[in-house]
Structure 1
Amino acid sequence: MEIEIIRSSILLVTFIFLGGLILKKDQNKKRNWAIFYSLIYVGTTLPIVNYVFVELGLWEFSEKNDIKMPYDLYFLWTIMWGVIPVFFLKKHDFKFLFIIILWLDLLMMPQLEKFGILTLYDNWILGEIALILAVFIPAYLWSYLYYYQKMNGIRAGFQVMIMILLLFVGLPYLLYFYQLIPQPIFRRSSIEFQVLLILAFPALSATQGLVRKGKGTPFPYDATKRLVRNGVYAYCRNPIQWSQTMIFFSLSYYHQSWIFLIGSIISVAYVFGVAEFQEREDMENRFDHEWSVYLSQVPNWYFLWKPINIPKGTIYFDRNCQQCSAIEAWYQEQNTINLEIKAASEYVGTPLTKVTYIDGNGEEENGINAIAQAFDHIHLGYASLGWFIHFYPISFLLQLIIDSMVFDRVEECEINNRKT
């Protein structure tokens, strides 16, 4: 009875704390979104990691439920790791927080066992440290990087990871808990995986484009600094939402349940009923006429076969290299759109050491990435191949292969050299 009073009191204090944060007059919008990102990470990963550790025999809660931990402890744990640390985002706060969090957990876990809430087994301390490494530290890192607007690629990576966990782990188990689908099974199927990858790839490629070209992330409240009009966005205005909608069809087939199709309906309704209006106003405010032109040329929900007005790009080839000249000749034969093909000798600046593509914003791509980027100027078939080639780490591996090859040239070929 005593422990129930303590748990209820802690919950009451926590709700009062959250109410004070919500009702506070002078809101720090930036910190609020940092809290959101931290919360969504902890809330998603904590039950998954705890479930794994319970299955591994590191500890076990006495209360039996679907997430293998008491719901009130899950809530309190999420607040403690997802909200409070975000108020300590200065450079030297992390070491202090890490020590405090570890000390509190090592102190509280035996106390919970004493009150009969859980049972600790061998190596539970290692599990606790692993839990902090897998849940608390990434959540804090995400909120820190967002708050100081650093490393947008890592921030986007967190977003992709959370969406994967929610769609492929969280959602199936949630539906199973409410007995809407049979128990989720994670079987291996190369064909289903390939179909899923094809459907998801426009979103993955679009995310990379938003990071590298737009200098931002897919989340609207961690938005891009530039309007991205090349890559996947030269063919479809909402490739991420398109992929998400199609993924629900594959999930429906995979789990043999029509219930996932509701996700597709909700996704389409969100795009046309909510995102369309919010996006237009926001994009018009940020990009003005450039957005209006793009809006009139690129469809919202399907892919063009040829880009109507992709931003002008220029690709430079070394005409003293037989292989490079052959690739240049191939491009010359294609009916490219807004692609200018030039000799490397025409490049103004430091002499080029690789095939180089320069987009409308002056961003450079070299080597295999340059060739892949230029595919966008042909049609959807070649563009899709280019998105695959350009996707990291595929582009990195392909470039390594090319760099190891010997080309027919008196001097070394530009596509084979690395910048020094």
Structure 2
Amino acid sequence: MTELVVIRWLCLAVPVALTVVLWRRSPERGWEWRQTPPATAGADGNRRAGAALLGFLFAFVALGVTNQLAMSVGWWSFAPVVGSFLGVPLDLWIGWALCWGALPVLLSGRLLLWVLTCAWLDLLLMPRLDGLVQLGPHWLYGEVVALLLVLVPALLLARWTLERRRLNGRVILQLTTFTGLVLWLLPSAVMDQGDGSWSHLLDGPVWRTSLIVQLMALASVPALAAVVEFAVRGRGTPYPWDPPERLVTTGPYAYLSNPMQASVVVMLALLALGTQSWSLALATVGVVSFSRFLADPHEREQLNARQPEWRAYDREVRPWIVRRRPYQPQAELYLSETCTICTQTRALIESTGPRGLTINPAETYTVVGLRRALYVGPDGLRVSGLGAIARAFQHSGPGWAYVGWLLGLPVVRPVLQLLLDGMGGGARDLPARSP
């Protein structure tokens, strides 16, 4: 056995062994003298394991991106050995991601301590992996980039997930993680073993690349809106170990029970077309089959056990068939009767045939200070301005609902609201009176 083989084996075996041992010795497993009550221990143990897995996945994706950047600018490169993926030895990649993503949440400890420890270990070990890693003259710049863009976010994501803090931060980092996994690493792995190439998409005619990218952006809207709905209405995320606190049946979920999977399938199909990969097309069919015959039945069983209202929802909303009308509880929209733009907006919304939406004059709203259109949901959700109009569109057919999802996205809505305000659609002072 050569020295290089031993190094690669240790780079994978040591982090894997530490991860398994530390998970088995975690307080939630009952190996410490301060034991958690059994019911709480199981839930906390699952959450810690889920946080560790999520930290690992983020680190794995982010390290892949960082290594591609490092190799392109000459910070470092890797020896062309068997078992490499995207130019990186896979065993080293996995061990690195475990050390930076999973182990910290299993060991706990302060963020700064972990950053300093990992930086010290890298400074100590990287120059000694000479047979596996070739360092460039400016490799320390790459080390700083990796610490800031990989280690710190991975630590924060795992810690926030474990402690259920910083919901917006968790959502953004999870979205980054699974976008990288599904739209970059998965297609790359499939094409590495099959046919197709990124060059067909990136180096092809500009019009074709632009068309594929734009169609993928449009296909992503239901998934992005579903993630927002989980955060806003459910106070949770799509990650199984960080779920919403309540059943979410609004937004895209009023039309389809698996909008995220549907968006992913469409985007993968477009990628298969753009990269000219029959292997990726076949993998897309596999994703649909897995979701339809394995994931969906398991999810239904779990939700039936935890959420009594799930059964009524499941009877009305299907996983792969879009409803023509939303599964939507009653909500209210307040629009001014003395504003020309508001009356025109009301006429437009009414022409779409909204379901479960009552439109009231804003002048009758009982709280003083209403200055924009207001949407009030049955769960207490209040959205004003363009966001209220976006929510109102989601009470109509799937076409208008799609417009509402797009208008309501966190980046899109503030920009369009600013433009609308500049064109005379800004806040207005309205007299409020008691009913």
TM exceeding 0.5? yes
Counterpart in the other structure of 1:329: 347
Q: Does 1:34 align with 2:51?
A: yes
1:390, CA displacement in angstroms? 0.9
Q: Is the 8 A contact 1:11 1:76 kept in 2?
A: yes
Counterpart in the other structure of 1:339: 357
**SS class of match (1:220):** coil
Find 1:44's aligned residue among 36, 42, 61. Answer: 61
Q: Any residues of structure 2 matched to 1:6-405 within 5 Å, and which?
A: 8=9, 12-21=13-22, 26=30, 28-64=45-81, 65-89=84-108, 93-113=110-130, 116-178=131-193, 180-185=194-199, 186-187=201-202, 188=206, 189-288=209-308, 290-307=309-326, 309-405=327-423
Q: Report the Cα distance in structure 2 between the residues aligned to 1:319 and 1:244, rounded to whole angstroms.
A: 42
- What is the letter of the counterpart of residue 305 of structure 2? N
Alignment CA distance shift 1:340-1:7 (3 Å): closer
1:222, CA displacement in angstroms? 1.5
Alignment CA distance shift 1:306-1:295 (3 Å): same
Residue by residue, what CA displacement relative to the aligned partner does 1:161-191 show, whole Å, maximum 9, x if unpaired?
222222332123223432x114422425221
1:407, CA displacement in angstroms? 5.8
Q: Report the Cα distance in structure 1 between the residues aligned to 2:405 and 2:242, rounded to whole angstroms.
A: 23
14-23 or 71-80, larger mean C-alpha shift: 14-23
Q: Report the Cα distance in structure 1 between the residues aligned to 2:14 and 2:347, rounded to whole angstroms.
A: 72
Q: Is the 8 A contact 2:257 2:317 kept in 1?
A: yes
Q: Report the Cα distance in structure 1 between the residues aligned to 2:168 and 2:373, rounded to whole angstroms.
A: 25
335-344 or 55-64, larger mean C-alpha shift: 55-64
- What is the letter of the counterpart of residue 198 of structure 1? L
Alignment CA distance shift 1:181-1:394 (3 Å): same
Identity level (%): 27
Q: Report the Cα distance in structure 1 between the residues aligned to 2:6 and 2:213, rounded to whole angstroms.
A: 49
Alignment CA distance shift 1:229-1:105 (3 Å): same
1:227, CA displacement in angstroms? 1.8
Alignment CA distance shift 1:88-1:353 (3 Å): farther
Q: Report the Cα distance in structure 1 between the residues aligned to 2:71 and 2:352, rounded to whole angstroms.
A: 59
Structure 2: which 5+ runs fail to align? 31-41, 431-435
- What is the letter of the counterpart of residue 277 of structure 2? S
Alignment CA distance shift 1:88-1:346 (3 Å): farther
Alignment CA distance shift 1:46-1:345 (3 Å): same
Q: Is the 8 A contact 1:318 1:414 kept in 2?
A: no
Aligned length: 405
Q: Report the Cα distance in structure 1 between the residues aligned to 2:270 and 2:128, rounded to whole angstroms.
A: 46
1:403, CA displacement in angstroms? 2.1
Q: Is the 8 A contact 1:372 1:387 kept in 2?
A: yes
Residue by residue, what CA displacement relative to the aligned partner does 1:81-122 show, whole Å, maximum 9, x if unpaired?
1222113445xx011111111122122222334xx4333222
- What is the letter of the counterpart of residue 47 of structure 1? G
- What is the letter of the counterpart of residue 353 of structure 1? R
Residue by residue, what CA displacement relative to the aligned partner does 1:188-242 show, whole Å, maximum 9, x if unpaired?
5221112212222211111111111111111222111122222111111111111
The normalised TM-score by structure 1 is 0.88
Q: Is the 8 A contact 1:355 1:414 kept in 2?
A: no
**SS class of match (1:342):** strand
Q: Is the 8 A contact 1:153 1:217 kept in 2?
A: no
236-245 or 153-162, larger mean C-alpha shift: 153-162
Q: Report the Cα distance in structure 2 between the residues aligned to 1:69 and 1:384, rounded to whole angstroms.
A: 41
Alignment CA distance shift 1:401-1:89 (3 Å): farther
1:345, CA displacement in angstroms? 2.8
- What is the letter of the counterpart of residue 18 of structure 2? F
1:156, CA displacement in angstroms? 2.4
1:391, CA displacement in angstroms? 1.2
Q: Report the Cα distance in structure 2 between the residues aligned to 1:157 and 1:223, rounded to whole angstroms.
A: 15
Residue by residue, what CA displacement relative to the aligned partner does 1:52-108 show, whole Å, maximum 9, x if unpaired?
201211122334444334344323322221222113445xx0111111111221222
Structure 1: which 5+ runs fail to align? 416-420
Q: Report the Cα distance in structure 1 between the residues aligned to 2:351 and 2:289, rounded to whole angstroms.
A: 43
Q: Report the Cα distance in structure 2 between the residues aligned to 1:257 and 1:5, rounded to whole angstroms.
A: 36
1:4, CA displacement in angstroms? 5.5
- What is the letter of the counterpart of residue 185 of structure 2? G
- What is the letter of the counterpart of residue 358 of structure 1? V
Q: Report the Cα distance in structure 2 between the residues aligned to 1:112 and 1:268, rounded to whole angstroms.
A: 42
- What is the letter of the counterpart of residue 112 of structure 2? K
1:15, CA displacement in angstroms? 4.5
